[in-house]
Amino acid sequence: MKKTSLKVAVVLLSGALLCSSCIGSFGLFNKYEQWQCNMTSSKIVNGIVGLILQPVVGTICLTVDALVLNTIEFWTGENPVTASTQVVKGQDGRYYTVKTSKKGYEIIAPTGEVTLFVFNAKDNSWSMVQNGITKEILHFNADGTIQANLQNGETITVTNDEAGLNQVRDAVLNDQNLWAKR
């Protein structure tokens, strides 16, 4: 009877630990699932290949997620697999790498120059970090307005809507204070 009680307690404790809210995002498995569902234009072919691959590849992805990647995500706050990376063609015709994370964005120019756009939740603001220099770009005010910092050092307070965006755009273009030029 005591052995049964111990086994039940171990199972319940294990279940409580596994079902807690810190299990992670399972980014690797989700990326595999997305790839598997969209590998061809035929749902039938995707389903057949999925039936063949799922027992092996799905099990490996779930195991790596549960034991390694979700642990990293728990301790660092970011899952290395869920960070999104895209290559974007700029207005100058060159290609830029944009990496998305929970902290913000990292943009790598074709020259290798790195620019970070970081959100500071404590100050409720976005900053740009370039060559080790941090410049606050905008700050969300408590009253719902936005304080935008222009390139020439001036600030402008606008509403958080399309009209406010147009005011900032006009202020930037009228003063020729562009954040990025061709």
Tell me: the pLDDT tens digits for 49-96? 888 888 888 888 888 888 888 888 778 777 777 667 788 888 888 889
Give residue 177's pLDDT band: very low, low, confident or very high (50, 70, 90): very low
Q: What is the mean pLDDT of residues 124-133?
A: 90
* Residue 173 DSSP symbol: H
More confident residue, 150 or 21: 150
Strand intervals (E) in the chain: 84-89, 95-100, 104-108, 114-120, 125-130, 133-140, 146-149, 155-158
Q: What is the mean pLDDT of residues 35-56?
A: 85
Give me the sign of the Cα torsion angle 161, 162, 163, 165: positive
Give residue 181's pLDDT band: very low, low, confident or very high (50, 70, 90): very low
Tell whether the model's pLDDT for residue 21 goes beyond 60.
no
Q: What global pTM score does this model have?
A: 0.51
Q: Kindly tell me the number of DSSP H helices and DSSP E strands found in the chain.
A: 6, 8
Q: Helix, strand or coil for residue 113?
A: coil
